[in-house]
Structure 1
Amino acid sequence: MKIKSVGIIGAGTMGNGIAQVCAVAGLDVVMIDINEAAIERGITNIKRSLDRLIKKETLTEAQKDLALQRIKGSTAYADLKGLSLVIEAATENQAIKEKILKQIDETVGKETIIATNTSSLSITQLAALNSSPERFIGMHFFNPPPLMALVEVIRGLQTSDQTHEAIIAMAKAIGKEPITVKNSPGFVVNRILLPMINEAFFVLAEGLASAEDIDAGMKLGCNQPIGPLALADLIGLDTCLAIMEVYFGNFNDSKYRPCPLLREMVAAGYLGRKTGRGVYHYDT
């Protein structure tokens, strides 16, 4: 099965980024969100992202125009009918994702592959809620999708070989490098990355070093392009906390205990770049 059209549920950072990648690669895209304002914000962010690529001379004005023409914004799930693939890219909340995935399942035909962009939730568990679990799969893009090459392709216990092969081929067709991962909380990258970020918060809370020096140490000492605390701000502290809570709940291992400082900052609404304040302050 060759994927020619894609539905994206969610016009936020991940959703509009995935939509952009697919449209630039020549796929027709339907991007759905709860209201027109959310869709307009998503389209605006795509235009800004494409303009940055033009400035870097990696995209032409003509390619930008063609990509935008391929993206249709909508608030109606009915517009998903007939698409090859639908990717759920909502916030990392199981109840919200389950509600959305149920709506997708009730709308599309059995020939449509359904994927979730979850970074930590069980693909097997989510697939079990689907009327055709063999066509369900995890497709985890990394932030920001237009720049990050990796896509984790996660098979649930029920995922068919045909579904897996179609998604691997599609990921390569849109210029990504897919890796196949077994179903487990956090999969591969976040299973390693998030505990490191969480430990950076413990180090910060204990006053061992300033946030700037913690990040500088990891950049200069481990050759990381961005420090763990700055990366947490980019990901969103609420997302980091949600993922750590999934690990802690699933593994029942104290090494995954979320740092109390991380919890407190999320409770205060200091969520990172998207709120203008996290570990660091940002212009909004």
Structure 2
Amino acid sequence: MEAESTETLRNDETSQEYRVQVSTKKAVVEQMNKYKEVLKMVMEGQAAVPEETKRLLLQELLTNFEAAVQDNVLVNGQTWDEAPEDEEDEAIALETLLDDTIVETSRRRRRFPKEILPHVVRSLKAERKLMGLYEQAVKPEQVTRDPEQESIMSSLSAAAPGMVKQAIQVIKSSDDEDRRLKKREKNRVAAQRSRKRQTQRADLLHETFEYLQRRNSQLRREVDSLSEERRRLSEALRTHEPFCPIMHCSSASSVPLNNAISCLQPASVQ
């Protein structure tokens, strides 16, 4: 008897669920990230542990912590691996919201025209009633014609064709004036361009004239320099001529050039 009661108690303990119930994975992941940061701060505070050992211990600790949390959590009655991701839940929620919106819109389209129809009917009836109360203040046969007004209207009717012709002439004259103004503006622009071209041409001619003047002055200076050099060479030649044996040999006898050159050679020793 005691064995049976013990077995029943064990079965009850086994059937009882001790895992934490949650609705989405997102909240659990946020809590795990917070506690992971705490574990990282604790491990970083261990200055006596080498860095490589600290890194391996932290990695193993975080892995075991995450696995333990996932094993002890039920997401909408499902285990962590069987539960859908948050993106799928959001998509399902959006689809449900869209379906609800479509259903509500269809319901309003069917209901609102029926609710508006009585108000429209009452408005039309009231308008018709007001139109029935309308009465003409003066009947057409009771209106008397004013001779003065009739004469004014007839004079206006007679003057209308002439006024139309005058208006047409005014419009034509305004068009002609616009054309004249456009032509005058075009001539003004053309004259301005012509003056600009003439000014540019005059500037070019002036620059050419100044260049030719400078070139003429330079050539004159070169001519004066060459004339001065020719004069100095001529004076040097006249000064050198009495002492030049070539000039004496060539002037004394009409001998060939070889003989004149032999005059310059020193006499050979006997």
Q: Which has the larger radius of gyration?
A: 2
Which TM-score tier does this pair reach, normalised by the shorter chain?
A: under 0.3
- Higher normalized helix content (fraction of residues): 2
- Higher normalized strand content (fraction of residues): 1
